[in-house]
A and B are shown apart, each in its own frame.
Chain A
Amino acid sequence: DAGVIQSPRHEVTEMGQEVTLRCKPISGHNSLFWYRQTMMRGLELLIYFNNNVPIDDSGMPEDRFSAKMPNASFSTLKIQPSEPRDSAVYFCASSHGYPEAFFGQGTRLTVV
């Protein structure tokens, strides 16, 4: 079975540009999580969805960040406008039965 699929794997963009990260969760999983990982702060939960509904977005750093889950097989995390401090690895994870989470390979974002 395919795991969590994220795209792109790497993204380099200029400050001020819009960035969209994509995620396809494992089929049948009803929870989806977006995390950000940096050396300084480790893994931080940004937002999670249950049955496609956003449950907790308290980890979203600013209004520049938004996430959607239009259906059970797709989610996006958008940053607009992007800033250099947004540079990090962004992970999507899904779960069929909390608390175990299955992670994608991540998107390494560099904002210059």
Chain B
Amino acid sequence: TQLLEQSPQFLSIQEGENLTVYCNSSSVFSSLQWYRQEPGEGPVLLVTVVTGGEVKKLKRLTFQFGDARKDSSLHITAAQPGDTGLYLCAGARSGGGADGLTFGKGTHLIIQP
């Protein structure tokens, strides 16, 4: 079983602060995705990283895929209350073809005004 460990489980910070959350595994993934889930809603895809060492930016969010494609990080600059949510990482076992994703349990992020 390929497991994705996310840390921290819970994080509460003040508006304007920076933060980093992590997604780690002992397994190699062909790609990794980050989703954000708000209460009462389904997860929404933020980004997919494919290449080892890849860095992608989405406004104040920076995503990095580890060189060995086993881990990833999400950094948020100047966090805002709208960033509050559950951040999930998901690893893909094989490239191409239909398959299921392996999800971490997520980081619950609260940004206080």
> Which A residues lie at the B interface, using CB under 8 A?
4, 30-31, 33, 35, 41-45, 48, 50, 55-56, 59, 91, 93, 95, 98-106
Q: Are B98 and A95 in contact (CB under 8 A)?
A: yes
> Which B residues lie at the A interface, using CB under 8 A?
30-31, 33, 40-45, 48, 88, 90, 92, 95-106
Q: For residue B31, which residues in chain A have a CB less than 8 angstroms away from its CB?
A: 99
B9 to chain A, nearest CB (A): 11
Q: Among the listed B30, B33, B42, which residue makes an inter-chain contact with A100, where contact means beta carbons less than 8 Å apart?
A: B33
Q: For residue A59, which residues in chain B have a CB less than 8 angstroms away from its CB?
A: 100
A98 with B43: in contact, given A42-B104, A42-B105, A43-B88 (CB under 8 Å)?
no
Q: Are A33 and B44 in contact (CB under 8 A)?
A: no
Interface centre among A45, A48, A93, A98, by most chain B C-beta atoms within 10 angstroms, is A98
Q: Among the listed B33, B40, B44, which residue makes an inter-chain contact with A99, where contact means beta carbons less than 8 Å apart?
A: B33
A103 with B42: in contact, given A42-B106, A48-B100 (CB under 8 Å)?
yes
